[in-house]
Amino acid sequence: MDSKRRRLVQAMAVGGAATWLAGCGGGDSSDSPAPSTGSPNQPDTPETPDPSEPPVARVDFNHGVASGDPLADRVILWTRVTPREETAAPIPVTVTVARDAALLDPVARFETQADAQHDFCVKQDATGLDAGRWYYFQFQVGDQRSPIGRTRTLPAADRFVDRARFAVVSCANISHGYFSVYKTLAEHGDLDFVLHLGDYLYEYGIGEYGDVPDRDPLPPHEMVSLEDYRQRHAQYKGDEDLQAVHRQYPMIVIWDDHESANDSYQGGAENHQPMTEGDWQTRKNIARRVYFEWMPIREQNPGDTATIYRRFQFGDLIDLSMLDTRLEGRDEPLSLPFDPARNDPERRLISDTQMDWLLEGLSASTARWRFIGQQVMFAQLNIAEIPSLNEHAPQLRGNLSAINMDQWDGYAADRLKILNHLDDNNIDNVVILTGDIHTSWASEIYRNPGSLLGDLFDAPLATEFVTPAVTSPGFPEGAAELAGVAIPVVNPHIRYVEAKSRGFILMDVNRQRAQAEFYYARDIESFDLRGQIDESKTKLVAVYSGDSRLREEGLRPSRPRTLRTALFHPPAPASASTEKMA
C-alpha cells in the first residue's frame, strides 16, 4: 500500500490570499484558494537569491500533464517531475490554475512537492473551483514550466443539465500499435471527459503480447517489481498521443487486470507464478501503489490505494458509479464455462460492502440517467448453442469460452442481485459501460434472456455498451466475422457485435436518449495514419429514457459543439515544457 503523507504547513501568500501546501501524493483542503492577482506568466521581478537557500533543481516534464476525478468544486491535477540529477531532496512545485489558456486570469496557486518516495509524481487536488466550468493549469519548478493542460469541473448535482458528451476507452497495449484512438480524441475538442475502463497498460515483456516495430515495452521483461511498474507507467506516459488526450480532458479511470497481472483477482492472477515472481499480495500492493502515483485518481481515504469504486454526478443528468470488479472482492475465476458453481450464491465478483454501496447509490439517485462504469461484460452469453455456420465456429466458441468465466457470467448470483434490485425498486435508465474484451457489443439486459424460456417479452432492466480496444487485438480473422452473425442468433438480447476493430465509444447523452457511437481507427500500425477514423464502420445505437430497448434505425451522429468549444474553452496549446524567457 502507498502510505501517502498528508501534512498541513504554513500557506504561502499569493496575491494576499493563502493556499494550502499539499504532499506529492495528492493534497486536499476544505479551504478554497482565493484568486491570485498576479499573472503566473508575468511574475514580479525576482529578488536576488539568498546564498544560504538551496539552488532550484533542474528538472524536465517528460511525461506531460493530466487531470482526473472531476467533482463540482475540485479536480486532481497530475504531472511527473524528472530531476536532471539524482536527488533525495524534495523538489518544491507550484501549480497554477487559470480561466484562460494563456494563464493570464489565474484563480488559484497551490504549493506542493515532488519526492522520491512517490517517484517524483505530483498530484494536487485543486479545490475551491466553480462548478461546471473549464480551467487551464500548469506546474512550475523555479523558472521551469510544464505544458499547459485543460480540465473542467462537473456541474453541481442540483443543476439542470441538458447534455453531456464523453468518450469511453479501454485496453491499450503499447506493443500492439500506436494509440491512434487517443490522438482522435485529443483532436475532437468538445468532450466533457474521457472514461477509461482499465487495461491502461499491460504487464508483458518483449514478444509476449504484440510485436509492432518500435513499440517494445520497458522494461523488456514482465513488470513485477516496484521499479518495473514505475518504468512501464513512465513509458506509457511518454507516448505523445496519450499525453495529448490527458492534456485536453479530465480522465475518470479504473484499473482492470493488466495494471497488475492478467486475470487477476483478490487472491492471485493467471499471470502470476509465486515460485518465480514472489508473493501475490506484495505484487498487487505494488501495482496499486504505482497506479495511484502515476494516474490522476483521488484517494477515497488518506493513504488508501485499494479503493477505486466511487461516484460522480454530472448535474441532474448523470450519476456515474465506477466499480472495481477485479481486485477488491473477486473470487478466483472458474475454469469451465459450464461449471455449475457459476450460480453459487457465495461466489463474489465484488465485495458485500461494494455491492451495498452500489445498490444504495442506485436507489438514491435522482438523475435522469444512472451509468455504471466497470471492467467485464455484464450481459449473459450463450456459447454452447452458437451454430456451426462455417469452419470458424469451433474457434469462436473457444475464444468466447476463454473469457466467459472471467465475466459476470462466472458470478451469476452477484449479477442477479443487481437485476433484482433494479426490478424491485423500479429503477430505470440504467446504462452499463464495459471494457476488457477488445470487442464491441450492445446488449439489452434481462434476468434470463434465453429465447424460449426467458423474459425477452418483458422490458429490459438495463442496457450495456462494451467499448472496443485502443490497440489490443480482438478475435482472429474468420471467427470475428462469424461472431457478428452467429452470436445474436442464440443471444437475441445482444443487438450488436463487432469483434475485430479497434476504436472507442462516443457517448452523447441528453434528457431524451443516451446514444452510443462506435468509431473505429483506420490503422494502428502506421504512425502516419494515427488519428484517422474508418467512417465505413461507424455504428450508432441508442436507448431512450423510460425504455431500455436498444434502437438502431433512424439515428444520426450527434452534433459536435465545435464552435462553442473554440470560443469559450479552446484546446490547451500543444507545446513542450518551457523555461522562463529572460
Question: Residues 524-542: what's their mean pLDDT?
Answer: 97
At 15-69, the pLDDT tens digits run: 333 332 233 344 333 333 333 333 333 333 444 555 556 788 899 999 999 999 9
What cell does 43 get? Answer: 511574475
CA distances from 455 to 223, 225, 344 (A): 46, 49, 22
Let me know: does 557 contact 538? Beta carbons within 8 Å.
yes
- Of the candidates 513, 497, 516, the one whose C-alpha atom is nearest the C-alpha of residue 547 is 513
Identify the pLDDT of residue 382.
79
CB contact set of 149 (below 8 Å; sequence gap of 6+): 64, 65, 66, 67, 77, 136, 137, 138, 246, 247, 248, 572
Q: Are strands 462-466 and 163-169 parallel, antiparallel or unpaired?
A: unpaired
Q: What is the CA radius of gyration of the chain?
A: 24
What cell does 162 get? Answer: 441538458
Tracing cell 439517485 back to the chain, one arrives at: 365
User: Is residue 574 predicted with pLDDT exceeding 90?
Assistant: no
**Better-predicted residue by pLDDT, 399 or 332:** 332
**What does the DSSP 8-state code read for residue 521?**
B
**What does the DSSP 8-state code read for residue 336?**
S
Question: Residues 193-216: what's their mean pLDDT?
Answer: 97
**What does the DSSP 8-state code read for residue 156?**
P
**Which burial class, exposed, middle or buried, applies to 547 when counting CB atoms under 10 A from its CB (0-12, 13-18, 19+)?**
middle
* Mean pLDDT, all residues of the chain: 87
% residues pLDDT > 90 (the chain): 75
Task: Show the CA angle centred on residue 334, arms to residues 406 and 431, nearest 5°.
Answer: 30
Domains annotated for the chain, with CATH where assigned, are: 12-153 (2.60.40.380), 163-566 (3.60.21.70)
Phi, then psi, of 80 in degrees rounded to 5? -130, 125
What cell does 334 get? Answer: 472458474
At 98-141, the pLDDT tens digits run: 999 999 999 999 999 999 999 999 999 999 999 999 999 999 99
Identify the pLDDT of residue 485.
79
User: Is residue 403 predicted with pLDDT exceeding 90?
Assistant: no
Alpha-carbon span 330 to 328, nearest angstrom: 6
User: Residue 40 carries which side chain, given as an amino acid letter?
Assistant: P
Q: Are strands 462-466 and 440-445 parallel, antiparallel or unpaired?
A: antiparallel
- Of the candidates 25, 576, 6, the one whose C-alpha atom is nearest the C-alpha of residue 296 is 25
Let me know: does 539 contact 204? Beta carbons within 8 Å.
no
Identify the pLDDT of residue 456.
62
What cell does 379 get? Answer: 450481459
At 365-377, the pLDDT tens digits run: 999 999 999 999 9
User: Is residue 455 predicted with pLDDT exceeding 80?
Assistant: no
What band does 97 get if pLDDT is binned at 50, 70 and 90? very high
What cell does 193 get? Answer: 471527459
What band does 563 get if pLDDT is binned at 50, 70 and 90? confident
Alpha-carbon span 384 to 382, nearest angstrom: 6
Let me know: does 105 contact 147? Beta carbons within 8 Å.
no
Stated pTM of the model: 0.89
Half-sphere exposure of 436 (CA within 13 A, CB side): 29
